[in-house]
Amino acid sequence: MAKKPRVKVPAKAKKGEIVQIKTLTSHVMETGTRKDEQGNPIPRNIIHTFSVTFNGKEVLKADMHPGVAANPYFAFYTRAMESGTFEFTWTDDSGQVLTASKQMTVE
């Protein structure tokens, strides 16, 4: 989890335009069902929550289960209505929180 999450947000958008946002985080997403070489279960450690806010208002949230692939990737859309800042938050089972933020200017 040392790597910074990668987030793609268009820097500029026209008012009313629907823009795509993509995010990629590196994380093992350990399922909790696997065992190590000694046969001991490997404890679960997944990012369980991903949330996106725009100017402080939540626009998207995802609750994840171990069936989400390692290095979680998300793509979604949003309607550009005003300039502002997107805040992205990933929280994992070990309590680690990753964040990223991106500005978007609406013309």
What separation in angstroms does the CA of 25 have from each of 10, 41, 72, 82? 18, 25, 6, 27
Q: Which of 2, 11, 40, 69 binds another protein (CB under 8 A)?
A: 69
Burial class of residue 38, CB neighbours in 10 A (0-12, 13-18, 19+): exposed
Q: Does 84 bind another protein (CB under 8 A)?
A: no
Of 20, 1, 8, give the one whose Cα is nearest residue 80.
20
Q: Does 63 bind another protein (CB under 8 A)?
A: yes
| Apex 5 CA angle, 70 and 102, nearest 5 | 140
Q: Does 82 bind another protein (CB under 8 A)?
A: no
Considering the complex, what minimum distance in angstroms separates the CB of residue 1 from another protein?
A: 17
Our CB check for another protein shows the closer of 11 and 69 to be 69
Our CB check for another protein shows the closer of 2 and 18 to be 18
Tokens at residue 49, please? 């929550």
Choices 2-10, 27-35, 85-93, 94-102 (CB under 8 A): range interacting with another protein: 27-35
Binding residues for another protein (CB under 8 A): 18, 31, 33-35, 54, 57-79, 81
